[in-house]
């Protein structure tokens, strides 16, 4: 249950952060359009207009790749820069300390 | 004169090294040497599937166009990064002459852009099995240098914009995408609407890519001198406009105290 909660809240939090990032939104909007435009002109000029559907699908899939790849790496780097992991580490430390107090294991060696 | 030369050379080199934070130079390999090969391969295979042009067409177009990554991003980050780290205000408050200050930062970027494009061209040719005549290699090297120079001019405008905007990486990405579509790197200019091919004449790489393709097809340097002159002119116009914008935004940032607002 706790794992699901971490996953759910983590997902929501990251979605909120990314949706407020001009970089993520700018790249996410720009690249599928760029890829689709190039594919459109290439297939039209190449005399294969029937493959335009595949080209547009490919552009959309490439957009998913780029968004996922950039945002996943960006999320970890951003949190590292923002000292989020330090905060997570402190929270874990507090939990261990509480557990040690409850079980009186602090002085056990 | 010596002071200006020091600002130009030492300042430019230090600023360029700071771009990588110098934690690990290996970050250079995937971003500058591996990524362009994948871009070349991607469009070469799409080109084969579309039945539009030869591998050589996409190799030359994408290798040269990829010089825009170092030229645009490095120039923007040069100003944006220093602004973020609060070193730019210390530089701009000094009486250092601005021409060597800004153009000194452009020179390593230009050389790096040319190296990336030349590396991509040679490795891409090996991977795709494209034969480039030995006699065309030296002229192609010159074309690559001119293309990088031209895009560094546009990079100066991008750098000036970084004095005003926060997300300069978004702007660099958008410009890179525009160049990919408009410059004829992947789509022949006679296959795009007229307004696009007209707009392409004022963009970096358009003339350099056309010249490089002619050289690879056996033309001499003299045959493409018109194209190279046009590319040099485009680069000079962007360079002068970029420098003017940098000075304008510098004055504005002093007046409105916006330099350190990030």
Pairwise CA distance, residues B143 & B204, whole Å: 12
Residue percentage of chain B with pLDDT more than 70: 97
With a cut of 80, say whether residue A108 has pLDDT above it: no
ipTM of the shown complex: 0.83
pLDDT in tens, B3-26: 778 888 877 787 777 776 655 677
pLDDT of residue A30: 83
Give the percent of chain B with pLDDT over 90. 61
| % of residues, chain A, pLDDT over 70 | 83
Question: Would you call A38 and B43 a contact, using CB atoms and an 8 Å cutoff?
Answer: yes
Question: Which range among B68-72, B150-154, B252-256 shows the weakest confidence by mean pLDDT?
Answer: B252-256
Q: Which two tokens stand for residue B139?
A: 């002229």
How far is Cα A25 from Cα B43, in angstroms, rounded to an integer? 25
Tokens of B51: 């039945």
For chain B, what is the mean pLDDT? 90
Query: Measured between alpha carbons, how far is B87 from B82 in angstroms, rounded to an integer?
Result: 5
B152, B71 contact by CB (below 8 A):
yes
pLDDT on residue B104 = 87
pLDDT of residue A35 exceeding 80, the answer is yes
Classify the phi-psi angles of B53: left when phi > 0, otherwise alpha if psi is within -120 to 50, otherwise beta: beta
Q: What is the pLDDT of residue B167?
A: 74
**pLDDT tens column, B107-142:** 999 999 999 999 999 999 999 999 999 999 999 999
The helix/strand/coil state of B151 is helix
Task: Tell me the C-alpha distance between A97 and B248, whole Å.
Answer: 57
Nearest residue of A to residue B178, measured between CA atoms: A34
Q: Where are the alpha helices (DSSP H) in B71-202?
A: 74-84, 88-92, 98-128, 134-161, 168-182, 194-200
Q: Is B103 left (phi over 0), alpha (psi -120 to 50) or beta?
A: alpha
pLDDT at A11 over 90: no
Contact B187 A45 (CB under 8 A): yes
Structure tokens belonging to residue B21:
């934070």
pLDDT tens digits for A47-99? 777 777 777 788 888 878 877 777 777 777 777 666 666 666 677 777 777 77
| Higher local confidence (pLDDT), A105 or B117 | B117
Which pLDDT score is estimated for B89?
81
Over range A35-47, report the average pLDDT.
Answer: 86
Q: Which residues of A touch B192 (CB under 8 A)?
A: 41
Cα-flanking dihedrals φ and ψ of residue B80, to 5°? Answer: -65, -40
Q: Are B140 and B216 in contact (CB under 8 A)?
A: yes
The answer to whether A40 faces chain B, any CB pair under 8 Å, is no
Tokens of A60: 């959309």
- Residue B2: per-residue pLDDT: 80
Give the mean pLDDT of chain A.
78
| The pLDDT value given to residue B262 | 53
Region A15-30: mean pLDDT is: 79
Q: Which of B27, B38, B49, B84 to mutate to probe the A interface, most A CBs <10 Å?
A: B49
pTM (2 d.p.): 0.83
Q: Are B64 and B175 in contact (CB under 8 A)?
A: no
pLDDT reported for residue B137: 95
pLDDT value at A43 more than 90: no
Structure confidence at residue B176 as a pLDDT band (50, 70, 90): very high
Q: Is B180 an 8 Å CB contact of chain A? A: yes
Q: How far is the first Cα of chain B from the last one, in angstroms, to the nearest whole number?
A: 34
pLDDT single digits (tens) B47-88: 998 888 999 999 999 999 999 999 999 888 888 878 877 788
- Answer positive or negative: Cα dihedral of A31, A32, A33, A38: positive
- Which residue does chain A place closest to B52, by CA atoms? A46
pLDDT bucket at B223, cuts 50 / 70 / 90: very high
Chain length of chain A? 109
């Amino acid at each position: 249950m706790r794992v699901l909660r971490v996953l759910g809240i983590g997902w929501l939090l990251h979605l909120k952060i990314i949706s407020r990032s001009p970089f993520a939104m700018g790249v996410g909007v720009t690249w599928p359009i760029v890829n689709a435009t190039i594919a459109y002109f290439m297939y039209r000029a190449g005399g294969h207009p029937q493959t335009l559907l595949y080209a547009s699908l490919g552009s959309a899939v490439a957009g998913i790749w780029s968004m996922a790849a950039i945002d996943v790496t960006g999320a970890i780097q951003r949190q590292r820069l923002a000292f989020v992991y330090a905060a997570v580490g402190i929270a874990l430390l507090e939990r261990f300390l509480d557990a040690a107090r409850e079980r009186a294991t602090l002085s056990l060696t | 004169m010596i002071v200006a030369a020091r600002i130009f050379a030492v300042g430019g080199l230090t600023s360029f090294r700071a771009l990588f934070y110098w934690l690990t130079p290996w970050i250079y390999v995937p971003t500058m040497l591996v990524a362009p090969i994948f871009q070349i391969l991607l469009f070469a295979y799409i080109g084969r599937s579309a039945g539009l042009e030869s591998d050589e067409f996409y190799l030359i177009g994408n290798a040269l166009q990829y010089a825009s990554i170092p030229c645009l991003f490095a120039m923007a980050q040069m100003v944006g990064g220093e602004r973020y780290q609060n070193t730019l205000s210390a530089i701009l408050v000094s009486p250092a002459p601005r021409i060597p200050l800004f153009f000194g930062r452009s020179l390593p970027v230009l050389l790096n852009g040319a190296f990336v494009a030349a590396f991509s061209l040679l490795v891409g040719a090996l991977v795709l099995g494209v034969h480039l005549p030995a006699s065309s290699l030296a002229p192609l090297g010159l074309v690559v240098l001119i293309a990088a120079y031209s895009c560094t001019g546009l990079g100066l405008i991008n750098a000036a914009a970084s004095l005003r905007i926060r997300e300069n990486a978004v702007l660099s990405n958008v410009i890179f995408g525009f160049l990919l579509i408009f410059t004829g790197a992947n789509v022949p200019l006679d296959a795009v609407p007229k307004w696009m091919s007209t707009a392409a004449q004022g963009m970096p790489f358009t003339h350099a890519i056309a010249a490089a393709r002619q050289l690879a097809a056996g033309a001499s340097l003299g045959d493409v001198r018109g194209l190279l002159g046009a590319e040099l002119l485009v680069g000079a116009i962007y360079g002068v406009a970029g420098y003017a914008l940098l000075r304008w935004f510098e004055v504005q940032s002093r007046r409105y105290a916006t330099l350190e607002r990030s």
